Each structure stands twice: as structure tokens, then as C-alpha cells.
């Protein structure tokens, strides 16, 4: 049996794991990174990157279909899924090779294989023990389903949806969260009939209600059907299709049922419980500094309760590396992590929703700037808005954006929220014209008491 020691052993090579490995190596720590699949994890290979490649292909399809609206003569002949998948896979392959090169450049000891936590200092892979002064658990998540609803045949998860070799004629999407509405958006752009089922009252239910309602209006206009506030009761599939039953007695017929009811923590089978790690509903319990109940053992990413976002895991990985290295980084504010749904239109936010703000503060002010008044948004022909929530006479508490490409604005919004800026601090900043960023400027000007391009 081989014993390999390092300052840090990381179990899982997704966004959180590799970020932790690279940052720790930069800080002079020796690192062993263990991954049973491919470096980059779900985000790179089965999540963020390939889905956004599909969404860009969908955007090109929509732009072609609507080109006559801006005087360009073009026609959409169809969707070549072999070509789309080749484009998507090429991006993933290039980024994967880049990550492999970075691991070598950082002199990270990369170990391929399934790891099991033996104790607070040891991970076993194929009989070999890898010991570290500290251990980071970063094993990610998996696609969940509902009791009695098994994947297989015409009932698929997002992983299978990413690799379809055809565009289905009719699809039912079970779950109106981020994953569900993104795939609904793609398939509709590719020409499919789509019906989304969400048990909660709105699509993207974790977003500000005004953002959810705008997305729902846009989906209706695009011909995407959806049922909210209704629960799924069953699904039956045959060689010809799948029938989905709802609690209101309605049945939906489709070629495929995409189950997009969230992701569960991938903690089973890794020895966590046996080694004494405290779990709750399958998630690893940590303190605000991401320390587990075992001394020297940290957890990062989707296995830690909270937002399941690649950039959250990435930042947590950097935080842990710096914490272990003695830099004492500040605790990550979960509300300050930007959130983006890359559907058409996009939904982006950071900070508190209006309802959350009103629960926590006595007096709250909001302003919503309609993108109809923004020149670049009119050029792009996108409806939407920029909504700012502030404490009365206090800092900005939340920012909520809807519209094409607004995900590119959320980084400025993140700075505003995380620096606890007042609208009066943001109002003097110059936003280049014509850009969609002017919408953020206009909203803050209005809350600062000096609205410009605002009616009423």
C-alpha cells in the first residue's frame, strides 16, 4: 500500500475542488487532487458550459428566425443537432485541456479514481492512501428525481438532455427552476412544443416575484406553456411517448419528460458518515468558515447547504485555500453571490428580493427601470427591467435584472451590493452610452432623487 502525504488533499475536481487546489498551490502548499471522472466536474462537462453552448445556438436560431425585423434577409433551414453537439463538445474539450494544463503548471498531484474518506486526514483511492494536514470534501451533486419517478427511456435528466441527437417535437419539463427554464428556452428556440410544470406559484421561484412574472410573460409570448402551483402525480411511458399526470386532473402528452427538480448532494458512498462527518439531509454541515465537525476537514460547493452555483463553489475553494494558508479571508456573504438564469430572456440578481428585504427592514424603497427606455435594449429588441431595492435612507439591498444579456450586468450589481453602496454613491458613476449598463445607472439616479429618463 502506497502512502502519499501533502499539505492538502481534495476529494473532487469540480469548480470548488480545482479552485481550492490551484489557489493552495499558488500559496506554496503541496496539493493532492482526487477526481473519479474528469477535471472540471459537472459544471464543465454536464452543466454550466454545455448548457450555455446550447443556449447560444438557440440564440442564433432565434436571431435568424427574426432577422427580417431588422432588415436582414435570412431563413432558418433547421437545427442540425450533430453540428450543435460538435460545437458544444469542442468548447468543453478545449476548456478541459486548459484545466489539465493548469493542474500541471501548478504542480498539483492529480489522482484519477474514486476516493473514500477514511479519517480526518486520509482519503483512499484504489487501495492507496493519500494523507493531508487538511482535507477538503468537494464531491458535488447529482440530478434528483421524485419518489416513484425513475430515470430511463423517455424520462431523462439534464445530463441526457445535453446529448440528444434530435430535437423532440413535444417536451414536458418537470421543474421551473434554473435548469428547467433554461432547457425549456433552448427547446422552444429549436422548434419544440414545451410545457413546464412547477409546484410553486411562479417560475424561477427563488427570484424576486417581479422577475418571475416578467419571465412568465416572455414565455407566454414565445409560446412556452407552463403550469404553476400544481404538483406532478405520475408519468407513464410507452414506445411512442410519455404521459404526465398532474394533481388537478390534467394530463400532458410528450415525446420526453425532463426531470429538473433540483440537484442533491453527492455525499453517499464516499465514507463521510463512516469517518464521522456530520450530515443533514445528505448535505455536509459546516460553520461559516466551511469547517466540518472533524478538525482539519472542510467542505465546499454543492454538498454544502445553500446556492448550488459553480462560481459559489469556486469562491469557496479559494476561501478555504487562503484560510488554511493563514490569510484569514473574510466570510463569504451568500446573498452577495450573483445569480443568473440564462434563458431568453435572462434573469439575473444579487442580494435580497423585495419580500426578503421587507421582512428584515422596517422601511424599504424600490425602483424599477423599464428597459423600454434604454437605447441598447431597444437595439437588441429586448423587453425587461432593472429593479433596485434599498433600505430607506440606507444602502442597496438587492438588484434584479430581466432581459437579453443582462447576466453581463450582474458583476457591477455585485459590487454595488457587496460594498453596501448608497444609490447616491452610484448615481455619479458614468455609464457608457449606449449600453444596457445605463439601466443600472438610471435606477440609482431615480432612487437618489434625480431621475432622468423616467416617465411619471
State whether residue 366 is helix, strand or coil.
strand
Query: Which residue is catalytic, options 433, 444, 453, 455?
Result: 433
Residue 68 CB neighbours (<10 A) = 11
348 Cβ partners below 8 Å, 6+ apart? 338, 339, 340, 341, 400, 401, 402, 406, 407, 409, 410, 413
In 13-167, alpha helices (H): 15-26, 41-46, 48-65, 81-105, 158-161
38 Cβ partners below 8 Å, 6+ apart? 13, 44, 45, 96
Maximum Cα–Cα distance across the chain = 76
- List residues forming the annotated binding site for NAD(+): 175-182, 198, 262
Using CA atoms, how far residue 364 sits from 332, 396, 402, in Å, is 24, 10, 21
Q: Which of 64, 262, 35 is nearest to 146 (CA)?
A: 262
- List residues forming the annotated binding site for FAD: 52, 115, 139-141, 302
222 Cβ partners below 8 Å, 6+ apart? 188, 344
Q: How far is CA 77 from the centre of its chain?
A: 32
Count of residues for the chain?
A: 456
- List residues forming the annotated binding site: 52, 115, 139-141, 175-182, 198, 262, 302
CA angle at residue 424 from 422 to 425, to 5 degrees? 70
Counting DSSP H helices and E strands in the chain, the numbers are: 14, 24
Residue 24 CB neighbours (<10 A) = 28
Q: Roughly how many angstroms between the first and final C-alpha of the chain, as a whole number?
A: 76
Instruction: Tell me, yes or no, if 45 is annotated catalytic.
Output: no
Residue 182 near residue 49, CB atoms below 8 Å: no
Of the CA atoms within 13 Å of residue 59, those in its CB half-sphere come to: 16
CA distance 93 to 25: 24
Residue 444 near residue 427, CB atoms below 8 Å: yes
Residue 320 near residue 342, CB atoms below 8 Å: no
What dihedral angle (degrees, nearest 10) is formed by the CA atoms of 409, 412, 416, 418?
A: 100
CA distance 55 to 185: 8
Known catalytic residues are: 433
Amino acid at each position: 500500500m502506497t502512502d502519499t502525504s501533502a499539505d492538502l488533499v481534495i476529494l473532487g475536481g469540480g469548480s470548488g475542488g480545482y479552485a481550492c487546489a490551484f489557489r493552495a498551490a499558488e500559496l506554496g502548499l503541496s496539493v493532492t487532487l482526487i477526481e473519479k471522472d474528469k477535471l472540471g466536474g459537472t459544471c464543465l462537462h454536464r452543466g454550466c458550459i454545455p448548457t450555455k453552448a446550447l443556449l447560444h445556438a438557440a440564440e442564433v436560431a432565434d436571431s435568424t428566425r427574426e432577422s427580417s425585423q431588422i432588415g436582414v434577409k435570412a431563413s432558418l433551414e433547421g437545427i442540425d443537432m450533430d453540428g450543435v453537439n460538435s460545437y458544444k463538445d469542442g468548447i468543453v474539450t478545449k476548456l478541459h485541456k486548459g484545466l489539465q494544463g493548469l493542474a500541471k503548471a501548478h504542480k498539483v498531484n492529480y489522482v484519477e479514481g474514486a476516493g473514500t474518506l477514511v479519517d480526518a486526514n486520509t482519503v483512499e483511492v484504489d487501495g492507496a492512501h493519500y494523507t493531508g494536514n487538511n482535507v477538503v470534501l468537494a464531491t458535488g451533486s447529482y440530478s434528483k428525481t421524485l419518489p416513484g419517478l425513475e430515470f430511463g427511456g423517455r424520462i431523462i435528466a439534464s445530463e441526457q438532455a445535453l446529448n440528444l441527437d434530435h430535437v423532440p417535437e413535444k417536451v414536458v419539463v418537470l421543474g421551473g427552476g434554473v435548469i428547467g427554464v433554461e432547457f425549456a428556452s433552448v427547446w422552444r428556440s429549436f422548434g419544440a412544443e414545451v410545457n413546464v410544470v412547477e409546484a410553486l406559484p411562479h417560475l424561477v421561484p427563488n427570484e424576486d416575484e417581479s422577475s418571475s412574472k416578467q419571465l412568465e410573460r416572455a414565455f407566454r409570448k414565445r409560446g412556452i406553456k407552463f403550469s404553476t402551483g400544481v404538483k406532478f402525480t405520475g408519468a407513464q411511458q410507452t414506445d411512442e411517448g410519455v404521459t404526465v399526470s398532474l394533481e388537478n386532473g390534467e394530463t400532458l402528452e410528450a415525446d420526453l419528460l425532463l426531470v429538473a427538480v433540483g440537484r442533491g448532494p453527492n455525499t453517499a458512498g464516499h465514507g463521510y458518515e463512516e469517518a464521522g462527518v456530520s450530515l443533514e439531509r445528505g448535505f455536509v454541515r459546516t460553520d461559516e468558515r466551511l469547517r466540518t465537525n472533524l478538525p482539519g476537514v472542510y467542505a465546499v460547493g454543492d454538498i454544502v447547504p445553500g446556492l448550488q452555483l459553480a462560481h459559489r463553489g469556486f469562491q469557496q475553494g479559494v476561501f478555504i485555500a487562503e484560510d488554511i494558508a493563514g490569510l484569514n479571508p473574510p466570510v463569504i456573504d451568500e446573498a452577495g453571490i450573483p445569480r443568473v438564469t440564462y434563458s431568453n430572456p435572462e434573469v439575473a440578481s444579487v442580494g435580497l428580493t423585495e419580500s426578503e428585504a421587507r421582512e428584515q427592514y422596517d422601511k424599504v424603497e424600490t425602483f424599477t427601470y423599464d428597459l423600454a427606455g434604454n437605447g441598447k435594449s431597444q437595439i437588441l429588441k429586448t423587453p425587461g427591467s432593472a429593479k433596485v431595492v434599498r433600505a430607506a435612507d440606507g444602502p442597496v439591498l438587492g438588484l434584479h435584472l430581466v432581459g437579453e444579456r443582462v447576466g453581463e450586468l450582474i458583476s457591477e450589481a455585485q459590487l454595488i451590493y457587496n460594498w453596501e453602496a448608497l444609490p447616491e454613491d452610484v448615481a455619479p458613476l458614468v455609464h457608457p452610452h449606449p449600453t444596457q449598463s445605463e439601466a443600472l445607472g438610471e435606477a440609482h439616479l431615480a432612487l437618489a432623487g434625480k431621475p432622468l429618463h423616467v416617465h411619471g
